[in-house]
Amino acid sequence: QVQLVESGGGVVQPGRSLRLSCAASGFTFRDYAMHWVRQAPGKEPEWVAIIWHDGSNKFYADSVKDRFTISRDNSKNTLYLQMNSLRAEDTAVFYCARAGIVLIPDYWGQGTLVTVSS
């Protein structure tokens, strides 16, 4: 079955960096685009970024553009999110999700919590 396991979250000071990882299994990772979606406490989810199956295309939400970078290593079945210049408003649970039918996020991981605080 499809499994997505995020890691790398934690408490970080404003202005610092963090890299999240998402280990994928149960499907052919290199065949699928992948998303990052975040959810601040008590709020609706917010789409963050998508990367094509081969890494050839990437799109970002305006709120993270120029600060966050999505990448993948198909040899390791792993998705990444490099987050720089973190702000308090980036505090959220970050989910990776497979981009299935017509790029819709169909399977989601359990998420990793990022807290930006001094």
Partner 1 sequence: DIVMTQTPLSSPVTLGQPASISCQSSQSLVHSDGNTYLNWLQQRPGQPPRLLIYQISNRFSGVPDRFSGSGAGTYFTLKISRVEAEDVGVYYCMHATQFPYTFGQGTKLEIK
User: If residue 20 lies in a helix (H) or strand (E), which one and from where to where?
Assistant: strand 18-25
Q: Is 10 left (phi over 0), alpha (psi -120 to 50) or beta?
A: left
Give φ, ψ of 48 to 5 degrees: -110, -50
Q: Which is nearer to partner 1, 16 or 40 (by Cβ)?
A: 40
- 5 sits near partner 1 (criterion: CB under 8 A): no
Residues 14 to 43 in contact with partner 1, rule: CB under 8 A:
37
Minimum separation from the CB atom of position 4 to partner 1 (A): 9
Binding residue for partner 1 (CB under 8 A) from 9, 52, 106, 115?
106
111 is a site residue for partner 1 (CB under 8 A): yes
52 binds partner 1 (CB under 8 A): no
Q: Which is nearer to partner 1, 62 or 75 (CB)?
A: 62
Q: To the nearest whole angstrom, how small is the minimum distance from the Cβ of residue 65 to partner 1? A: 10
Distance CA 36, CA 85 (A): 18
CA–CA dist 88, 118 (Å, integer): 9
Q: Pick from 1, 32, 3: which is nearest to 102 by CA?
A: 32
Binding site for partner 1 (CB under 8 A): 37, 44-47, 50, 59, 61-62, 95, 100-111
